[in-house]
Structure 1
Amino acid sequence: MFAKMRSEPGLCRVEPFGAYAASRYEDVLAVQKDAQRFSSEALAVTSEPSWLGSNPVAHSLLSQDPPRHTQLRALVSRAFGPTGLARLEAVVRREAESLAEAAVRQREVDLVDAFSFLLPRNVIGYMLGLEPSTFSEFKRWSVSMGLISSAAPEHYEGIRSTVREMKEYLGAVIAERRRKPGEDMVSDLVRAEVEGRKLTDDEILSFLFLLLPAGMETTTQLIGNAAILLARFPEQLERARADKAHIPRFLEEVLRYESPVQLTFRMNLSDVELAGTKIPAGNLVLGLIVSANRDERVFEQPEQFLPGREKGTQHLTFGQGGHFCLGAQLARMEARLALEALVSRIRELKLRSPEVEWLPGYAIHGPRVLPVELIPA
C-alpha cells in the first residue's frame, strides 16, 4: 500500500481525521523539519479528543513550536546529553545483564514481559527517581496512552481511568520533590527555570506524561523488533555473537526496516502546498515514517534487511529538525546493551509462533507478546 502511495502523485487523504498523508521520504522530511509550515500543535488535537477531556500530553514539549519549544527542550536535554548518558551506562548495562541472565535461565519466555519491556521501564523509573514498587503499573499506562489517537469506543473509559491515575500518581511525585528534592530528573525539573521563571506543576506534569511512556514504549518495541529479526535472520545473531561492533549496524537497520514509530502528526496553520497538493489551513498532515524508511529513491533494495547498508543511518525514525527525538541516543544505548547481554548468552533465538501478535493501534509498532525459546550458548 505504501509503495503504491509513493508511486502516485501528490498526497493521499486518510482516515481517521481526514489527514493528508505524506509517504515519500522527501515529503516526510519536509513535514518533520519545517516547523513554520507544519506545526506540532497537531499533537494537541490528536491526543486530546472530545471523549477524553484534559490530557497533559497535549500541552507537552511535543506539541510546542519555537521559541517555546526551544526553551523547554533545553531544560531536559542535559539528562539526555553525553554526560548524562555516560552516568547512566553502568546502570543500564547492569540491568540488561541481570534481565538477560534471568530470561535465558527460564529458556521459554515471553520476551516482552521478561526482557524488552522491563529494561526501559526500569531505566526510566530510575531516571525519574520513582518508587520501584509502582513500576508494575507502567506497562498498562503506556499501552493505554498509545491507543488514544486510534481508540475504539470500548477503550474510552479505560484510557480516561489511566489519565486520572497518572495525574494522581505523578502529581504526588512532583509535590514530594518540591518538599524534598533529590538527584533525579523530576527534582531537576522542579529546580529548573525558563527565562527566570520556574516551571509550574502543570508544566512538569506534561513533561512526565510524555517522558514516562515515551521512555519505555519505543525502546521496548525496538528491542522486541530486533529480537524478531534475530530469530528470522540467524546469521545476524551469529555475526553479533562474533563481533559486538555489528550490533549498532544491526540496530540501525531494525530502526529503518521495522520502525517502532510509524508516523508523525503535524498541522498546517496556513495554506500550504506539498508534493503538488494544496492543503487548506487547519488540516492534519501525517508524515508516514514507515513508508519513508522504505522509499526506493533513497534506499537501495528497501524491502531487504541489510545491516550496514549505504545510508543506513538516514532513516527518519527519530525525526529531524527541532523535534529530533531527545531520547534517541538513550534508546540506542539501551538496545545495544540489551542485545550485547542477550546474544552473548544464547546460540539461537526461536519464535514459538510463526505469527507475531502486534500491538493494536497504528502509531507504535512492535510485538504485544513475544513467546520465544532461548537456546543457551
Structure 2
Amino acid sequence: MQTYDLFAPTTDAERLDLYARMRGEPGLCRIAPFGAYAAARYEDVRAIQKDAQRFSSEALAVSAAPPWLGPNPVAQSLVTRDPPRHTQLRALVNRAFGPSGMARLEAQVRREAETLAEAAVRQREVDFVDALSFVLPRNIIGRMLGLEPSTFTEFKRWSVNMGLISSAVPEQHQGIRDTVKEMEAYLGDVIAARRRQPGDDMVSDLVRAEVEGQQLTDAEVLSFLFLLLPAGMETTAQLIGNAAILLARFPEHLEHARADKAHIVRFLEEVLRYEPPAQFAFRVAVTDVELSGTKVPAGSLVMGLVASANRDERVFEQPDRFLPGRDKGTQHLSFGHGIHFCLGAQLARMEARLALEALVPRIRAVELRSPDIQWLPGLTIHGPRTLPVDLIPV
C-alpha cells in the first residue's frame, strides 16, 4: 500500500496532483504524518462520512486532544459523539440552525452584510478577510451566542489556532495551549453569568436545556461553545474568502451574478466543491472493515480527503474546471454526509449568499493585489489568512 506525505505539496497544483495520484490507487492509501488510512475517491469518502456504525467520529476526539495539548473541550463535543448521544445533543441546537431559525436570522444577516459591503467598497483597497469574509460570520455567531462585542476581536486568533490543532507543528503548540486556556476562562465566565441570569441567546438556551430530564453540565455547555464559536465562523469565512478569490480569477461570474442574482447560489455551490473550507473528515474504524478492497483493522484512524473527493473524475466531469451550475454541482461533500452533516450548513450558505448579494451590485471587479494567496496555516481548514484586494466600484 502506497504512503503519501500530505505536507509535501507546496503549491495548489502539487496538492491537486497528489490527490489525483491517490485516487488512482487500487484501494485506500496510507498517509504521513498521521499514519492513517486515507480515502481519496468520492464513493469511499462518502461511505466514511455516512456509515457511523463502521466509522466512528471519536477520531475527532483523538485529533482534537493530542498529547502535547491535553484536555480540549472540543474532544467532548457534538462532533465527536456517535448515536444515541449525538442524536440527543444535536436536537438541542437543531432549532437554532434549522429553516425557521434561519428565516428569523436572515434580516439581521442582510443588514450586517450590507453595512460591511458598503464600507469595504467605499474604502476600496481592503483586506477582504478583515473587511467582510471573517467579520460577517464572527459578528453573527457572536450575537447568536450573546457574547460581548468588545471581545469579538479575539475570535480570529482563537479560531485560527483551534483550526491548527490536528496538524500543528511544535512551534505552534504553546500558542494553541494559550488559546484553549483563554477560551475556557472566557466562556466559563459566560456560562456562569447565564446560570445567574439567562437571556435571549443560545448560551442561555443551552444552560436551560435538558437531556432525558437532566440539565447539561457546565462542561457539556462549554464543549458546545468550543465547537459552535469557531465552527460558526470558519466555514463561512473561508467560503466567502474563497468566493472572492474565484470572482477575481473568473470575473465573468461577477457579470453573471450582477445580471441574475440566482447565479450567486450556483456560484457558491461550485466554490464549495472547488475549494472546500474543510479539507478532511476524520473517523475511527469501529471493527475490522474493508473499503475498496483495503482491509482496515479495528481502531485505525481513517481520513476522508474531501478536497480530493470533490475533484473525483468518476463523479464530476472536468473536475478541475470551475463551472457553476455544473451537473451534480450540489453533490459535493464539503458539508459532510449522514448524521454529521454540518449543523451550520444553512447558516453558512445564507451568510455567503447575502454577502455576495450585498457586494456584487456595488462593484464591477475584484482585483487581487497579489497573485500569491496567503492561505491559512495547517491542512484542515482551507481559505485565505489575509486577502488584499481592490474592490472596483460601479
Q: Classify the TM-score, shorter chain.
A: over 0.9
Aligned to 2:324: 307
Map residues 92-171 of structure 1 onto 2, 5 A cutoff. 92-171=109-188
What SS does structure 1 have at the residue aligned with 2:55? coil
2:287 counterpart letter in structure 1: S
| Alpha-carbon distance in 1 for matches of 2:193, 2:185 | 12
Aligned to 2:88: 71
Say if 2:382 is the partner of 1:376. no
Aligned to 1:227: 244
| Alpha-carbon distance in 1 for matches of 2:154, 2:107 | 25
What SS does structure 2 have at the residue aligned with 1:344? helix
Say if 2:343 is the partner of 1:326. yes
| Alpha-carbon distance in 1 for matches of 2:46, 2:23 | 14
| 1:115-171 Cα distance to aligned partner (Å, 9 max, x none) | 100000000001000010000000000000001011111111111100000000000
Query: How far is 1:209 from its partner?
Result: 0.1
1:78 counterpart letter in structure 2: R
Residue ranges of structure 2 left out of the alignment (5+ in a row)? 1-17
| Alpha-carbon distance in 1 for matches of 2:224, 2:32 | 29
Query: How far is 1:7 from its partner?
Result: 1.3
| 1:193-232 Cα distance to aligned partner (Å, 9 max, x none) | 1111110000000000000000001110000000000001
Which of 351, 373, 380 in structure 2 is aligned with 1:356? 373
| Alpha-carbon distance in 1 for matches of 2:293, 2:258 | 48
Q: Scaled by the length of structure 1, what TM-score is found? A: 0.99
| Alpha-carbon distance in 1 for matches of 2:165, 2:342 | 20
What SS does structure 1 have at the residue aligned with 2:375? coil
| Alpha-carbon distance in 1 for matches of 2:46, 2:257 | 31
Aligned to 1:83: 100
| 1:174-196 Cα distance to aligned partner (Å, 9 max, x none) | 01111111111001101111111
Say if 2:199 is the partner of 1:199. no
Say if 2:334 is the partner of 1:317. yes
1:235 counterpart letter in structure 2: E
Indicate the RMSD between aligned Cα atoms, in angstroms.
0.6
| 1:259-306 Cα distance to aligned partner (Å, 9 max, x none) | 111011000122111111111111110000000001011101101100
Residue ranges of structure 1 left out of the alignment (5+ in a row)? none
Aligned to 2:21: 4
What SS does structure 2 have at the residue aligned with 1:348? strand
| Alpha-carbon distance in 1 for matches of 2:265, 2:167 | 32
Query: How far is 1:17 from its partner?
Result: 2.1
What SS does structure 2 have at the residue aligned with 1:266? strand
Q: Tell me the percent identity.
A: 78
| 1:304-326 Cα distance to aligned partner (Å, 9 max, x none) | 10000110000000001000001
Q: How many residues are matched?
A: 377
Say if 2:268 is the partner of 1:285. no
Query: How far is 1:16 from its partner?
Result: 2.2
| Alpha-carbon distance in 2 for matches of 1:267, 1:207 | 22
Q: Scaled by the length of structure 2, what TM-score is found? A: 0.95
Aligned to 1:186: 203
1:64 counterpart letter in structure 2: R
**Dislocated runs of 4+, deviation >3 Å:** none
What SS does structure 2 have at the residue aligned with 1:164? helix
